[in-house]
Amino acid sequence: MQFSRFFLLIFLIQSIPAAPASSTCPEVSDYECLVKNSIPLYQENAEQWWKIYHHAAAKAKTCEHFNDITLFLRLWSGSTDGEMAEGLATDTEEILTNNSPCFFEGLLGLSKEEIAAFITHYCPLTEPEPIVKALQQAMKNPRYRDIAAQLLQKTCIQATD
């Protein structure tokens, strides 16, 4: 009797499939995959989500190419939650305040829908003064004026709440 239980147990253990490794967005450089699969990837492998995110954020912060910032800002139109959104807001503010022209050139690389999503979801987390200063400076440039005005209005409204 115990012998049959032993074989039954072995059979059950062998038939349980091993947990597959993360197959969603396996490449750290595939930020576009992260944008498209943000929540599923985070649920499947939060460590991989953060690796991809930090890789893209570092590239955006160096501002070697406006496309890096455009790609980074695409996550604003994707799905984020809690800690993810906080990291995104913090890094976005850093880019905006440290290199406003680069930030706006990257932002202008987004589609109209993505820009609208950014404006809708953007919520400053830090002290608004450096953000307000960067946005007021950006309003002097005709290319950035409309978006900077919308962000400035939103930043000032949230600063008074």
| Res 19: pLDDT | 38
Q: Read off the pLDDT of residues 3-12 as tens digits, 9 standing for 90 and up.
A: 444 443 444 4
69: nearest Cα among 130, 128, 114: 114
Q: Read off the pLDDT of residues 113-159 as tens digits, 9 standing for 90 and up.
A: 999 999 888 877 777 899 999 999 999 999 999 999 999 988 766 55
Structure pTM? Answer: 0.79
| Res 158: pLDDT | 58
At residue 9, the 3 state secondary structure works out as helix
* CA distance linking residue 86 with residue 121, whole number of Å: 12
How much of the chain, in percent, has pLDDT values that exceed 70?
Answer: 83
